[in-house]
Amino acid sequence: MTRVLVTGASGFIGSALAPALAAAGLSVRIASRRSCPDGEVVEAVRVGELGGGHDWSRALAGVDAVVHLAGPAHARASEHALRAAIVDGTEALAEQAVSAGVERFVFMSSIKAGEGRADGYGGAKRAAEDAVLAHAGLRPVALRPPLVFAANAKANFARLLRIADTPLPLPFAGIDNKRSLISLPSLVAAIAAVLRAPEGRSGVFDVADDPPLSTPEIVAALRRGLGRPERQFRARGLASLAPRALRESLAADPGAFRHAYAWRGEDDVRETLAACAAAWKAAR
């Protein structure tokens, strides 16, 4: 396997993945709606809006594998927009990938796709998984990560970093939940592991670092990296200051992926969280 198309290459995950794959010796073609990042890539291809009518022929020409990251990263878009970009767009890309002779297709799904009552975003990701898995010749792999974190992350994780950086005590000690997380480098390594094993098992896999943590444990790790004392107390009403996603439980089971692709992830996500928080503070 020599040439990989990475869609969504200017996004949070893609901007880390494309140079990592190139550094590992793969030929990388990147596709993005925005300006494509600089790096050791074979070619940068600008693409338009995702949807069922998009023509991927130029991007797919001569490609052995596709890593499909492009699409909305959260549920803020309307259900119609989510359906068009995530489901219809992924289905069109997968169908055209078959015609182009692609031998491996990695789809970036979400842990929300596995929830019993998936929201519009999770439901769209699950439908897109089905669309990709329908093409067995692509040897498709759908990865379901939980919250992906890095010092440059946005949304919930960026908000949590800002909250953790206060010198005041925080009211999270009473939150009893379990959340899985995965660092951006771990997720990049998981994708690379699939590409290194073109004959590896197809299917849907959770990917996450160990162990799952409660919100108080997450905050404690971040505050340690920020150089703050832990200082958490129990106060049910004030705990709502934490993003809703971090008050609920959502634990992944990455065992099947580890077995199939000899991938480890981080040895202890608490240490990675602390290092991430330190890097975030140093960059401010």
Q: Give pLDDT tens digits for 96-135.
A: 999 999 999 999 999 999 887 778 889 999 999 999 999 9
Whether residue 177 is contained in a domain is answered as: no
Whether residue 55 is contained in a domain is answered as: yes
Angle between the N-to-C axes of helices 89-99 and 120-133, in degrees from 0 to 180, rounded to the nearest 10: 10
pLDDT(32) > 60:
yes
Q: Determine the Cα–Cα distance for residues 154 and 150; give it in Å rounded to an integer.
A: 9
Residue range of the domain that includes 12: 3-144
Six-digit token string for 102: 């692609």
Report the pLDDT value the prediction gives residue 36, as an integer from 0 to 100.
54
pLDDT(50) > 80:
no
CATH value at residue 18 = 3.40.50.720
Q: Determine the Cα–Cα distance for residues 264 and 254; give it in Å rounded to an integer.
A: 9
Whether residue 64 is contained in a domain is answered as: yes
Whether residue 136 is contained in a domain is answered as: yes
Average pLDDT over residues 14-18: 93
Number of residues that this document lists for the chain: 284
Q: pLDDT for 213-252, tens place per residue?
A: 999 999 999 999 999 999 999 987 777 776 677 788 999 9
Q: Determine the Cα–Cα distance for residues 201 and 271; give it in Å rounded to an integer.
A: 31
Report the pLDDT value the prediction gives residue 155, as an integer from 0 to 100.
85
Q: Determine the Cα–Cα distance for residues 196 and 69; give it in Å rounded to an integer.
A: 18
- Lowest-confidence segment of 2-11, 140-149, 230-239 by average pLDDT: 230-239
Whether residue 135 is contained in a domain is answered as: yes
Q: Determine the Cα–Cα distance for residues 4 and 1; give it in Å rounded to an integer.
A: 8
Do the Cβ atoms of 46 and 36 come closer than 8 Å? yes
pLDDT(25) > 80:
yes
The H or E element containing residue 246 is none
pLDDT(41) > 70:
no
Catalytic residue among 107, 121, 172, 261: 121
Whether residue 243 is contained in a domain is answered as: no
Q: What is the DSSP letter of 150?
A: -
Report the pLDDT value the prediction gives residue 229, as an integer from 0 to 100.
95
Check residues 38 and 81 and name the one with the higher pLDDT. 81
Give residues with Cβ within 8 angstroms of 16, minimum separation 6.
150, 184, 185, 188
Q: Determine the Cα–Cα distance for residues 20 and 14; give it in Å rounded to an integer.
A: 10
State how many domains the chain has: 1
Do the Cβ atoms of 265 and 186 come closer than 8 Å? yes
Report the pLDDT value the prediction gives residue 237, as an integer from 0 to 100.
75
pLDDT(194) > 80:
yes
- The yes-or-no answer on residue 121 being catalytic is yes
pLDDT(208) > 90:
yes
Residue 7: which of 52, 65, 87, 62 has the closest Cα? Answer: 65
pLDDT(39) > 60:
no
Whether residue 66 is contained in a domain is answered as: yes
**Residue 149 CA: distances (Å) to CA of 3, 32, 71, 87, 180:** 28, 22, 18, 25, 11
Whether residue 193 is contained in a domain is answered as: no
